[in-house]
Amino acid sequence: MSYKQLIAGQRYQIEAYLREGFSYREIGKRLNVSHSTISREIRRNRLRDCHYLPEVAQAKAVKRQCQAAKYGIPEMTMIFVEFGLNQKWSPEQIAGVGKIIGYPVSHEWIYRYVQRDKLRGGKLHKQLRQSRRKYRKGNRVKRMIIPNRVGIEHRPSIVDEKKRFGDWEVDTVLGQQGTGAIVSLVERKSKLYLIRKVPAKSAAEVSQAMVGMLWRYRRHVRTITADNGSEFCEHEWVAEKLKTDIYFANPYSSWERGLNENFNGLLRQYIRKGTDLRTVTDKQIADVERALNARPRKCLGFKQPAVVFEELRRTA
């Protein structure tokens, strides 16, 4: 996406068009810029009473340019950084992509920039992933014994290398008690992440969801690794349907499914812990899945998981 820097004269035109009731998209067409440029311009420069004054906007723009020069970062790079943060990309992802497309900046600088913005009352810090709470001993719940469970120690060693296409991890993410759960699957090589909402964290619902999510990719399902939750008790039915092998991590060893745990943490940026999942639509779930698979990943050379997955599918 390209950005255009507005000049003072255009800001006066924006004010006039706003007074006439034009939409951001129409204003963008008239000024030959993206409607997102107009939206960003008004959002960043309007006053507390929501009025947009061109002279105030120009003064703020000049101030930002001075700040950019002070910190040695071009304004266009700062705009790209804010774009990435608003897409919920991590500072490392923003820095990696920035280097590729010509907006070089270190992830350390981005963290400092976010901190300065927070001290000035800004909200960029809210786009960063929240730190996780540490797991407390004594809160462990006794696990159900899973019938015919095959432990991770029997899983082919090649899966550990994350170099083979078709090895998946599965987990469930809970909402507010009694409002359902989200089944999540991630492919270890491409990092493709799939999510689906289920009305209950039951073995029947979860197993049906797993088969439904992976059915179109069933040719590319070699193994699935799960934790020891009772929701995976029907693993043999899933394995039969998908013609795959399912293995179980050791109890309380989340690092053995670390990729899935990591993505579930990213999911919490969109669907907070304790959310009533009955209020979350299937479209919202699909939008979150699409956004996470469009995030550039450092381990993929800052490519997007969705792109890498399709490349691997074509060559598999």
Q: What is the mean pLDDT of residues 24-44?
A: 86
pLDDT at position 211, please? 97
**What separation, in Å, do the N-terminal and C-terminal C-alpha atoms of the chain show?**
31
Say which DSSP state 155 is in. S
Tens digit of each residue's pLDDT (9 = 90 or more) over 182-213: 999 999 999 999 999 999 999 999 999 999 99
Q: Which amino acid is it at 269?
A: Q
- Average pLDDT over the chain reads 86
Count helices and strands in the chain by DSSP H and E runs: 12, 5
pLDDT at site 70: 55
**What's the whole-number mean pLDDT along residues 14-29?**
89
Give the position of tokens 């800004």: 122
Q: Tell me what pLDDT residue 179 has.
A: 92
Q: How far apart are CA 306 and CA 190, in angstroms?
A: 8
Q: 50: left (phi > 0), else alpha (psi -120 to 50), else beta?
A: left
Please report which helix (H) or strand (E) contains residue 301, including its range.
none
Query: Would you say the C-alpha torsion 123, 124, 128, 131 has a positive or negative sign?
Result: negative
- What's the pLDDT band for 135 if we cut at 50, 70, 90? very low
Q: How far is CA 45 from the centre of its chain?
A: 28
Distance CA 105, CA 110 (A): 8
Question: Residue 46: what pLDDT?
Answer: 78
Closest CA to 260 of 168, 196, 179: 168
Give the distance, in angstroms, between the CA of residue 76 and the centroid of all CA atoms in the same chain: 24
pLDDT in tens, 238-261: 999 999 999 999 887 778 888 888
Q: Output the pTM of the full model.
A: 0.62
